[in-house]
Structures are given as structure tokens and as C-alpha cells.
């Protein structure tokens, strides 16, 4: 980042922002003694080209100001809000599964822009999104990738409409790629985590809010490891979607209707441990009804708030946050991975696991079965005559 150089009799200031971009700044006025500026970035490593383009922009802005005309949308507020809304309203995503979550990420990005007061979605703010904002929301590299893929879709749509040139699209930061192996908890680690979770939720002098969060997280982990449902699908579950049933052996289980999941609607059959987890969760919800009202939580939802941050704190305090053998960190998806990995180790058919989890057999085989070693199957293999 270099110092600003002045052009157009002091009306325009230009600086080099990176190896391949320049930024122009124009002073507008003072509002409540706070100076207001407009900015424009040019993606190029040609200084003379950048100066020429930004001088033309400066002339356009001052022409509009002199004639009391409204500044272009790009000079008044974050352009990405308008670009994203245009993409959501006009892009034809019918029957295209890769675009069905677009409205969700539109809301996420607008919330980020407004709460963090992002002036422009550019290389610097995208890096901040990756390094500072998203880590407080998720540990998943896949989820982070979805955020950035949505941003790319919006810019690509505007380029195709000739609203933007390709050189006006910001440079994107590099995301770490996930290794193929899915990280999970073995049974000993699972018991350690549950016991540590119980200790934490029973600590003295906790606020009622923290009590509710920790008690709910404990049952969430048990539920996830007993169903293998995707976290986002679990957050969307309502109590009416759950039915308690008995199998031919007399064991209770949950029949769970996942509506509009990642791969469509499906019925999920739980392990028995999910039954007691939800029974206890109902009692917890009754005990903390006052907080449900105060915090405006949806009483129809099984899990009315997200727990990525509290889950990360729990894993760290239990010394289970990172699997150093493969240098990967556990997150809220670990429990789904645990359900699937346990199923493979116990000898359940890949078809049954895939159908219950809303995956293909190929995915279960590629990311789970092929990455488990004979050590994982030690007890099973050694039991054969």
C-alpha cells in the first residue's frame, strides 16, 4: 500500500493498493463533521492506464455533482448489494440444484456487509471475510468455499450482462483445500467429549443462557452422532418432523422427516441413543422457557440456535479440536462424519448408510471407507472365527 498521489487539481487521489490494483478517492462533503468520500478500484498493474481511468471517473463524478444529479450506485453505496439482489431476482435457477442455496448466501453476505460496514467487496475485504469473519461462524472449509462461490456467481452474472468488465472483478483470496479424509471421533474420544460436556454444563456460577447453550450442545452432539444428519438440516428440523417408533426387537428409534435437505426430502432412521437425547432436550426446553421468550427463540425448532462457536470451545477444552495425525481440525460436521465412520466400521452396508445420510454410495466409499485402515476395523476383524 503506497501513499496517495494527487490529480485533477487535488480533486482526485490515487494510490496503488496491491501488485495488480489501484484505488481512486474523491472527497464529497462533511456530514456531522465526518468527511465523506467515494472510492473506485481498478484491477491493473499498468499505472498509466489506472490514472487515465480514474481521472475519467473523477470527471464524471464532479459533472454529476455540479448538475445536482444522483451519483452512480457504485459511488453511493456498496455495489455488491445491488448486484446480489439483481442476481437473486433475475437469474433462472429452476431445476438447478447447484443454485438452490443462493438466497441463503445472499442473506449471509448482505448481513456481513451491513454489520461489518463493508464499503466495497474487493480483495482486501474478501481477505478479511476469510480471515476474520468466517472463522467465528464456521470451521468448515467447504462452507467457506460456498460463501466465496456465491460471490463469484454474482460477479460472473454481472460480467455476462456487461454491467462489469472482467478486470473489475476483485481478486479472490486462496482457500485451503480440504484433504479427502473425513475426521471423526472414535468411541473413546466420543465418551471423553460427552463426559467433558457434562462437566462443563454442570459448572457452578454459569449464567442461565450459558447453561442452556451447554446443555443443548450436549444433546446436539448425541443426536448428530446417532443420526448423521447434516448440521444445516438439523437446524431446520421441527418437533413435528420427529416420530418415536419401535423396531421388531422392541428398541425405540426416531423416524425423522428431513424436508428440503441438500439432496431433497428423505426419512432418516436414528440410533436408539437419539431417543433419550431428545427426551432430555424437551425437558431442558421446558426448564428454560423464559429464555426462549427473552431471546426470541423458535419453540418449534429442535435446535433453535447454531452452536459452531460453543462447539469449538468445547472441543478445544477437551483437547479434541485437532487431529494432529492428519493435521485437521474438528468442527460441527465431525459428528456426521462420526456416524458414517462408525457405520462403516460396524459393517453396515454402504447403501444403507448413504440412503440414511442423503449421500451416494460413491461418496461414502471415497471419503470414508477408503480412508479407514485395518486398525479401525481391529475389533471387528479379530472377532471372525
> Any idea where the domains of the chain sit in the sequence?
5-75, 77-168, 187-382
**Helix/strand/coil for 260:** strand
Grid cell 440456535 is found at 305
Nearest-angstrom CA–CA distance, 278 and 290: 20
What's the pTM?
Answer: 0.59
Mean pLDDT of 289-295: 93
Give the number of residues written for the chain: 385
Are 55 and 47 spatial neighbours (Cβ–Cβ below 8 Å)?
Answer: no
Nearest-angstrom CA–CA distance, 119 and 80: 9
**Domain 187-382 -> CATH class:** mainly alpha
Q: What is the model's pLDDT at position 299?
A: 94
**Helix/strand/coil for 49:** helix
Q: How confident is the model at residue 103 (pLDDT cuts 50, 70, 90)?
A: very high
Nearest-angstrom CA–CA distance, 212 and 201: 8
Comparing C-alpha atoms, which of 314, 229, 318 is closest to residue 269? 229
Nearest-angstrom CA–CA distance, 318 and 312: 10
At 228-282, the pLDDT tens digits run 999 999 999 999 999 999 999 999 999 999 998 888 899 999 999 999 999 999 9
Q: What is the model's pLDDT at position 379?
A: 65
Q: Is the pLDDT of residue 30 over 70?
A: yes
Tell me which of 122-131, 241-250, 373-382 is least confident.
373-382
Q: Which long-range contacts (CB under 8 A, 24 or more apart) does 15-24 make?
A: 16/47, 17/41, 17/123, 17/124, 18/123, 18/171, 19/45, 20/44, 20/45, 20/171, 21/122, 21/123, 21/171, 22/47, 22/50, 22/51, 22/54, 24/54, 24/57, 24/58
Which ranges constitute the DSSP H helices of the chain? Answer: 47-66, 73-76, 79-90, 102-115, 123-128, 141-160, 187-201, 208-227, 231-235, 273-287, 289-294, 308-317, 334-345, 350-357, 361-367, 378-382
At 336-371, the pLDDT tens digits run 999 999 999 888 999 999 999 999 999 888 888 777
For the ranges 1-10, 99-108, 201-210, the maximum mean pLDDT occurs at 201-210
Please state at what angle helix 102-115 crosses helix 79-90, rounded to 10 degrees: 160
Amino acid at each position: 500500500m503506497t501513499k496517495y498521489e494527487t490529480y485533477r487539481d487535488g480533486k482526485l487521489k490515487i494510490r496503488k493498493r496491491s501488485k495488480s490494483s489501484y484505488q481512486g478517492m474523491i472527497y464529497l462533503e462533511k456530514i456531522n463533521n465526518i468527511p465523506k468520500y467515494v472510492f473506485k478500484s481498478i484491477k491493473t498493474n499498468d499505472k498509466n492506464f489506472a490514472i487515465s481511468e480514474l481521472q475519467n471517473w473523477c470527471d464524471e463524478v464532479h459533472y454529476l455533482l455540479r448538475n445536482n444529479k444522483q451519483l452512480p450506485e457504485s459511488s453511493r453505496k456498496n455495489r455488491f448489494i445491488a448486484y446480489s439482489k439483481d442476481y437473486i431476482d433475475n437469474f433462472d435457477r429452476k431445476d438447478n440444484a447447484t443454485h438452490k442455496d443462493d438466497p441463503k448466501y445472499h442473506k449471509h453476505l448482505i448481513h456481513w456487509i451491513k454489520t461489518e460496514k463493508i464499503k466495497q467487496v474487493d480483495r482486501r475485504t474478501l481477505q478479511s471475510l476469510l480471515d476474520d469473519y468466517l472463522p467465528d461462524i464456521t470451521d468448515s472449509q467447504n462452507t467457506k468455499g460456498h460463501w466465496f462461490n456465491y460471490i463469484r456467481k454474482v460477479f460472473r452474472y454481472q460480467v455476462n450482462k456487461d454491467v462489469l468488465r472482467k478486470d473489475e472483478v476483485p481478486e479472490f483470496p486462496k482457500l485451503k483445500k480440504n484433504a479427502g479424509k473425513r475426521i471423526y471421533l472414535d468411541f473413546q474420544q466420543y465418551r471423553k467429549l460427552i463426559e467433558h460436556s457434562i462437566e462443563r454444563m454442570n459448572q457452578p456460577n454459569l449464567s442461565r443462557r450459558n447453561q442452556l447453550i451447554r446443555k443443548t450442545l450436549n444433546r446436539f452432539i448425541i443426536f448428530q452422532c446417532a443420526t448423521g444428519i447434516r448440521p444445516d438440516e438439523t437446524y431446520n428440523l421441527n418437533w413435528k418432523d420427529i416420530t418415536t417408533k419401535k423396531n421388531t426387537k422392541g428398541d425405540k428409534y426416531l423416524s425423522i422427516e428431513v424436508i428440503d435437505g441438500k439432496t431433497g426430502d428423505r426419512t432418516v432412521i436414528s440410533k436408539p441413543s437419539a431417543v433419550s437425547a431428545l427426551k432430555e432436550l424437551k425437558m431442558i426446553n421446558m426448564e428454560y422457557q423464559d429464555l426462549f421468550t427473552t431471546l426470541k427463540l423458535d419453540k418449534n425448532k429442535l435446535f433453535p440456535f447454531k452452536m459452531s462457536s460453543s462447539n469449538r470451545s468445547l472441543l478445544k477444552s477437551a483437547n479434541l479440536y485437532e487431529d494432529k495425525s492428519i493435521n485437521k481440525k474438528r468442527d460441527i460436521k465431525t459428528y456426521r462424519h462420526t456416524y458414517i465412520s462408525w457405520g462403516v466400521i460396524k459393517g453396515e452396508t454402504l447403501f444403507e448408510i448413504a440412503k440414511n445420510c442423503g449421500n451416494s454410495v460413491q461418496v461414502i466409499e471415497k471419503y470414508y471407507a477408503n480412508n479407514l485402515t485395518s486398525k479401525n476395523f481391529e475389533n471387528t476383524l479379530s472377532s471372525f472365527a
